[in-house]
Amino acid sequence: MVSAATVAPAAPQSLSLPPPQFARLQPHAYLLAHLSPPVASNQPSARANGRAPSQFRVTSANSGSLTHTNGSGMVRLGDTTAVCGVRAELLHTEDIPSWSVSQSSNANKRRRLADSIKLSGQSGDHEETEAEVEEDRAHIEDLNLLVPNLSLSTGCAPGFLPGAPPAALTQALSHKILSLLHSTRLVRAEDLRVWYQPPNLGPEELERHNDEEHMDVDADEAESKPAEIKAFWVLYIDIMIISLAGNPFDAAWMSVLTALRDTKLPKAWWDVDNETILCSDSIAESRKLSLRGLPIPSSFGVFEADAAAGWRAVVIPDGEKLKAEEKKGTVQKWILADPDGYEEGLSQERACIIVDKEQNGKTVIVSMEKHGGWTVDTEDLRQLVDISARRWDEMKQIMDQC
Amino acid sequence: MNDRRRVNGPPGGTRPPVYASLLETGTGAGDRSQRQRQPAELRKICMHDDNLSAPAYQTNLWHFRTSVLKTGLIPSASGSSYLEFEPSASLTAARANPKSLIPPSSALKLACTVHGPKPLPRSAAFSPNLVLTTHVKYAPFAARKRKGHVRDSSERDLGVHLETALRGAIIAERWPKSGLDITITILEAEDDRWWGDAPDSHDASWGMMNVLAGCISAASAAIADAHIDCLDLVAGGVAALVSNDSTNSSSSAPRLMLDADPAEHRSIVSACVVAYMPARDEITELWLKGDSSKASLAAGDQRTGHEALIDGAVDAARGAYTVLAEAVRESLQRAFDQS
* Facing A67 at nearest CB: one of B6, B103, B151: B103
Q: In angstroms, rounded to a whole number, what is the distance separating the alpha carbons of residues B18 and A275?
A: 12
The pLDDT of residue A326 is above 60: no
Q: What is the model's pLDDT at position A38?
A: 79
Q: Indicate if A253 and A181 belong to the same structural domain.
A: yes
Largest CA-CA distance found in chain B, in angstroms, rounded: 63
Same domain flag for A315 and A395: yes
Pick from A288, A310, A335: which residue ends a domain? A288
Residue that terminates a domain, selected from A243, A267, A288:
A288
Residues 6+ away with beta carbon under 8 Å from B174: B130, B229
Residue A87 forms part of a structural domain: yes
Average pLDDT, chain B: 83
Q: What pLDDT was estimated at residue B43?
A: 74
Q: What span, in angstroms and rounded, lies between the C-alpha atoms of B240 and B270?
A: 6
Say if residue A144 is in the same domain as residue A263. yes
**A283 and A377 both lie in a single domain:** no
The answer to whether position B169 is within a domain reads yes
How does pLDDT run across A174-231, given as a tens digit for each residue? 999 999 999 999 999 999 999 998 887 765 555 555 554 554 444 444 456 788 899 9
Band of residue A2 on the pLDDT scale cut at 50, 70, 90: very low
ipTM for the predicted complex comes to 0.88
Residue A136: which CATH number?
3.30.230.70
Yes or no: say if B10 and A234 are a contact pair by the CB < 8 Å rule: yes
**pLDDT, chain A, mean:** 82
B139 vs A contacts (CB less than 8 Å): 83, 85, 151, 238, 240
CB contact B334 to A (< 8 Å): no
Secondary structure element (H or E) that encloses residue B111, with its range: strand B109-119
Q: Is B30 domain-assigned?
A: no
pLDDT for res B230:
94
Could you say which DSSP state residue A338 is in?
S
Q: How high is the pLDDT of residue A152?
A: 92
Q: Are A193 and A90 in the same domain?
A: yes
* Confidence category of residue A266, pLDDT binned at 50, 70, 90: very high
Q: Give the model confidence (pLDDT) of A83-93 as tens digits.
A: 999 999 999 99
- The SS3 assignment for B113 reads strand
- d(C-alpha B4, C-alpha B337), whole Å: 47
Question: Can you give the pTM of this predicted structure?
Answer: 0.86
Asked whether residue B7 is assigned to any structural domain, the reply reads no
Ranges A56-65, B192-201, B277-286, B297-306: which has the least confidence: B192-201
- The count of residues in chain B is 339
* B321 CB-near residues (< 8 Å, 6+ apart): B233, B235, B276, B278
Q: Tell me whether residues A268 and B100 touch, CB distance under 8 A.
A: no
In a domain, A32, yes or no: no
B57-87 per-position pLDDT tens digit:
444 555 444 446 778 888 889 999 988 887 7
Q: Is the CB of B300 inside 8 Å of chain A's CB atoms?
A: no
- Split into its structural domains, chain A has a count of 2
Mean pLDDT over B36-40 rounds to 73
Pure H helices in A275-316: 309-315
Q: Based on the domain organization, do A319 and A181 belong to the same domain? A: no
* One domain, residues A309 and A349: yes
Residue A279 has pLDDT above 70, yes or no: yes
- Band of the pLDDT at A113, cuts 50, 70, 90? low
Q: How confident is the model at residue B49 (pLDDT cuts 50, 70, 90)?
A: very low
Size of interface A-B (CB pairs under 8 A): 200
B chain contacts of residue A266, beta-carbon cutoff 8 Å: 17, 19, 101
Chain A interface, best mutation among B19, B21, B74, by max A CB count within 10 A = B74
Residue B305 pLDDT more than 90? no
- The total number of structural domains that make up chain B: 1
The CATH number of the domain where B273 resides is what?
Answer: 3.30.230.70
Whether residue A35 is contained in a domain is answered as no
- Rounded to a whole number of angstroms, the distance from the CA of A355 to the nearest CA of chain B is 25
The tens digit of pLDDT for each residue in B207-248 reads 999 999 999 999 999 999 999 999 999 999 999 998 876 555
Based on the fold, state whether residues A170 and A280 are members of the same structural domain.
yes
Domain of B169 in residue numbering reads as 41-338
CA proximity to A298, closest of A401, A215, A384:
A384
State the residue range of the domain holding A103: 59-107+121-200+228-288
Does residue B25 belong to any structural domain of this protein?
Answer: no
pLDDT at B252 over 70: no
Q: Is B29 part of any domain?
A: no
Where is pLDDT greater, at A353 or A307? A353
Spatial separation of the C-alpha atoms in residues A170 and A152, rounded to whole Å: 6
Please check whether residue B258 touches A, CB under 8 A. no
